[in-house]
Amino acid sequence: MNINSVIDFILSTSKSPTLVRLVNRFAVNKSRIQRERLVQAVTKHLLADYGRDGMLGDLSVFEAKSLQLVHDNILLRKLKGRLEGSSGERLKALKHSVSNIEQRIEKLKKLEGPDTLRFLAALYLDDIAPDFDPVFLILFRSLAKRLFNNFVNSIRAVETEAGTITRLADVVGKEPVFFIANHISNADHLPILFALNRAGLISPVVIAGSNLYRGVSKKILPKINVCQIKRDDMIEKKIKWLGNPIYIETFKQHNQYMWLHNEPYLFYPEGGRSRTGKILTPKVGIIKNIFDFIKTEQRKVHFVPLSLSYTSVPEDLAIEESRKGVNISYSDLIQQLATLNREYGSFKDTATYVNLGRPITVTPDNIPDLEEFSLDLMTQVLNGIRSTPTYDVAQMILFFSESRNKDEAKRFSVDDLRDANHDYNQKNLISALEIFSAKKFIRPENGSDSDNYYKIINPEILQQYANRTECEF
């Protein structure tokens, strides 16, 4: 199956007027935010702020223009360098990109003041703003159920308290709601969105890093309500995109427009996937923006701790490599999901848990301390994590290993773990050992005198699994 062709077919099919009418009438997810109206409203707000000498003055506009021109010229040199040796469709695409960048540079050079701001805001919003298509979402979800059936069937939605989903259904889409999740994998969006949709809740806007926008993912993500944020370098090893005053203010105003229109949001305060397995100290930037929104707009909002856990962590090996400094952002989401689905198909028990916590309401007359609230929020996410057999058994193996002398530390038996954990479910124990063995984190020892004995091959990965119910703060 050519996934690019299939996605192109779904994109064209989703434009059917009949399907659009049916979905907007009967589906949970409907066309809510008009992208053109959003771009106009955000640009108007930025220009008004510039006009009254607000955050965006002449210095900010000049700085952003200079940064953009440097970025575009570097990009242009790279693209021209790729022309030599290219042919066919690739050469044609490169020439088209070169022409577009050259035209953009020439146009931006001629602009001043508010015209520069208007141009840059439109440029950045073209990247940032999702182009949500509820028809595409339904069709893509159906495709995902088929392509990634093993993974999708593993998803389990859990309520921390009975009635949580009913309570959420009363406010999602009517008041600002923020789903706050721990971040384990690039695939995290899929189980979360499936769980929320199974619960009959509106798909939230998802804030995702630009590292996900690769290959066919670039076509899919904006259509399923993913908002792109560029956390990487704008100018190599010198200035990041978040150091561009117009870019960051455009991103902020885009979000505030969405919140004013009660669009639910999903984001990961850790800022990226944990490299140790433990939940990281939250970054408070977006939560601070939400608090500013509460004050300015005098609106109450709801935070929902959302705890995610995997029996088999999608990128466990890659995450360990990244901890050693290796770049692991090289494949698109579809490739990662396909690999994960094959892996899940070879294991008997691979539950993926999405735990919905009790909503926490913040009102304009009772805004808590930012740092304390952010830590408490992530602590509640931590407390909602449902431990899986692999998390538990990794802890058992490492604890037993630490109690042995150096020569025996990397060897254990099933009976050793049973004796040390009498009350633990034996089926879960065997299931986890089979998974770790299949993934070559441990290895069965051969011979009649070593029945039920295993050797630890990759203690670092076991530690990653064992850390999944811990935090770094």
The one-letter amino acid code at 147 reads L
The predicted pLDDT at position 377 comes to 97
- C-alpha dist (Å) from residue 330 to 195, 312, 334: 27, 21, 12
DSSP state of 209: E
**CA nearest neighbour of 64 among 244, 235, 231:** 244
- The set of residues, in sequence order, having a beta carbon less than 8 Å from that of 8 and lying 6+ positions away, is 219
Helix (H) or strand (E) holding 197: helix 189-198
The predicted pLDDT at position 186 comes to 85
Third-level CATH fold of 3-30+130-204+264-383: Glycerol-3-phosphate (1)-acyltransferase (3.40.1130)
- Considering only 223-232, 320-329, 363-372, 398-407, which range has the smallest mean pLDDT? 320-329
Write out pLDDT tens, residues 104-125: 999 999 999 999 999 999 999 9
Quick check: 313 and 465 in contact, CB under 8 A?
yes
Most confident of the ranges 201-210, 341-350, 449-458: 201-210
Mean pLDDT of 186-193: 90
The predicted pLDDT at position 329 comes to 63
The predicted pLDDT at position 353 comes to 96
Mean pLDDT of 188-208: 92
Using alpha carbons only, give the angle 237, 239, 242 rounded to the nearest 5 degrees. 130
d(CA 223, CA 65): 29
Q: Pairing mode, if any, of strands 265-267 and 205-209?
A: parallel
Write out pLDDT tens, residues 68-111: 999 999 999 999 999 988 999 889 999 999 999 999 999 999 99
* Two tokens, residue 249: 């203010």
Of the two residues 15 and 448, the one the predictor is more confident about is: 15
Mean pLDDT of 349-376: 95
Percentage with pLDDT > 90 across the chain: 75
* Two tokens, residue 104: 């953009």
Mean pLDDT of 158-174: 93
Residue ranges in 346-425 assigned as alpha helix (H): 370-383, 389-402, 414-420
Using alpha carbons only, give the angle 180, 185, 188 rounded to the nearest 5 degrees. 50
- The set of residues, in sequence order, having a beta carbon less than 8 Å from that of 389 and lying 6+ positions away, is 311, 349, 425, 428, 429, 431, 432, 435
* Two tokens, residue 47: 């220009």
Q: What's the pLDDT band for 4 if we cut at 50, 70, 90?
A: confident
3-state secondary structure of 56: coil
Quick check: 209 and 231 in contact, CB under 8 A?
yes
pTM of the model: 0.91
The predicted pLDDT at position 343 comes to 84
The one-letter amino acid code at 105 reads I
Q: Which residues of 148-172 are buried (b: 16+ CB within 10 A; e: fewer)?
A: beebbebbebebbeeebbebbeebb
**CA nearest neighbour of 267 among 96, 409, 412, 381:** 381
Quick check: 117 and 246 in contact, CB under 8 A?
yes
Mean pLDDT of 263-268: 96
Quick check: 182 and 381 in contact, CB under 8 A?
yes
Write out pLDDT tens, residues 300-339: 999 999 999 999 988 898 888 887 777 666 667 777 788 8
d(CA 338, CA 148): 7
The predicted pLDDT at position 55 comes to 65
Write out pLDDT tens, residues 16-54: 999 999 999 999 999 989 999 999 999 999 999 887 766
The predicted pLDDT at position 172 comes to 95
The one-letter amino acid code at 94 reads L
The arrangement of secondary structure in 389-469, i.e. its CATH architecture, is Orthogonal Bundle (1.10)
**CA nearest neighbour of 266 among 284, 286, 281:** 286
The predicted pLDDT at position 331 comes to 64
Mean pLDDT for all residues in the chain: 92
**CA nearest neighbour of 274 among 304, 310, 242, 316:** 316
Kindly tell me if the per-residue pLDDT of 357 is higher than 60.
yes
The predicted pLDDT at position 67 comes to 97
Mean pLDDT of 238-254: 95
